[in-house]
Amino acid sequence: MRSARRVTAFADSVFGEMTRLAKLHKAVNLSQGFPDFEAPAAIKAAAAAAISRDQNQYAPPYGTPGLCEAIARDFTGRHGVPVVADEQVTVCCGSTEAMMAVMLACVDPGDEVIVFEPFYENYGPDAILAGATPRFVRLRAPDWAFDPDELTAAFSNRTRAIVINSPNNPTGKVFTRAELEIIAGLCQRWDAIAISDEIYEHIVFDGGTHVPIASLPGMAERTVTTSGLSKTFSVTGWRIGWAIAPAALTGGIRKIHDFLTVAAPTPFQEAGAVALAMPDQVFTTLAADYQSKRDLLLGILERQGFTCYKPAGAYYLMADVSRFGFDNDADFAQYLIRDIGVATIPGSSFYIDPSAAPQTVRFCFSKRDETLHEAGRRLARLPVSATDRA
């Protein structure tokens, strides 16, 4: 027996595998992006209360009215973009499902989808499963800027969509308004849609701001924005995400979502409505706490001789590891897990051709300070240079 051909068109996900290896080798797990600290008590209580009230059956397929309204109100309130919950919001099982549903609903076989590289690993496979061809445009260190000429050359009348992820996983880049204006201009010129993954929208540092591309002139009608509860409220296991789309695209997204999963978990949607109504203070504290974790990890890594690219948002830090003298970053990541006891994600897994990628690893700093300190103690065992390695 053999699997369908489509499953051979892309590799296995690296994240769960690195967490498995971290457990196996008892390594400090700075690989897969999830917090090792508690979720806010108020939202845990809201989920538990919904279960006790017996809100345990299917939710309406497109989301509970309370959560859909909260999502629309929150987006309009923060960004001034009108959103009609009934016509534009689809709640999915995580923003991962939302991205897949959006791709299947909006992209045709033969279309091209532009993806910035390094990329969060789902975008390529999502495009491929929709029958489309991903086209990669590089973000280059140290500031992870794109070359506007390269981006312009990637667009054509085959381009159906571009995926944007800001704040960005894995680089920590926060796209500037000027950069988004270039992207918006190209989308308008080529009649393409922007699919904007904004799951780290509240995690921005150093007084920076997150600009959703849907808020740029003329873009609301050609942008699908995805986000979710996972990163903002430290509940990656709840699987509550959503898509906000123009009404003309929402029907298709809902249809796909209904056949994929019917509906997202009811009690967690109830808790989501409570979460989104939390006071602004919660979101500013979140960003400040993550900024101090970033600075803590940055200090640790720089002391150990890593060349770090300081993230402006999200909760990952990319570090160049070429000076450690390994053949490639995957080998270095294996050495870090087995011999040093720290799990990371090899940066080359965020590139279509790992052999053409810079040698980096991604550290996740969504961890308790003591976890980061423990990683620091272990990393202190790293040899100062390649020649010192036994």
Residues at the interface with ligand GLN (CB under 6 A): 13, 15-16, 32-33, 169
Q: How far is the CB of 231 from ligand GLN (least distance, A)?
A: 8
Q: How far is the CB of 33 from ligand GLN (least distance, A)?
A: 3
Q: How far apart (Å, rounded) are the C-alpha atoms in residues 196 and 114?
A: 12
Strand, coil or helix: what is 226? strand
**Residue 354 carries which DSSP code?**
G
Q: How far is the CB of 81 from ligand GLN (least distance, A)?
A: 25
Output 134 or 184, the one with its CB closest to ligand GLN. Answer: 134
**Residue 202 carries which DSSP code?**
T
Output 125 or 134, the one with its CB closest to ligand GLN. Answer: 125
Q: How far is the CB of 199 from ligand GLN (least distance, A)?
A: 8
Cβ 241 vs Cβ 96: under 8 Å: yes
Q: What are phi and psi of 78, to 5 degrees?
A: -85, -30
Inter-CA distances, 189 with 13, 211, 225, 234, Å: 34, 21, 20, 39
Output 169 or 360, the one with its CB closest to ligand GLN. Answer: 169
At 338, list the tokens. 């087995």
Q: How far is the CB of 188 from ligand GLN (least distance, A)?
A: 30
From the list 38, 41, 47, the residue with the least C-alpha distance to 273 is 47
Strand, coil or helix: what is 106? helix
Output 169 or 266, the one with its CB closest to ligand GLN. Answer: 169
Q: How far apart (Å, rounded) are the C-alpha atoms in residues 178 and 216?
A: 10
CB-nearest residue to ligand GLN: 33
Output 19 or 76, the one with its CB closest to ligand GLN. Answer: 19
Q: How far is the CB of 257 from ligand GLN (least distance, A)?
A: 19
Output 32 or 223, the one with its CB closest to ligand GLN. Answer: 32
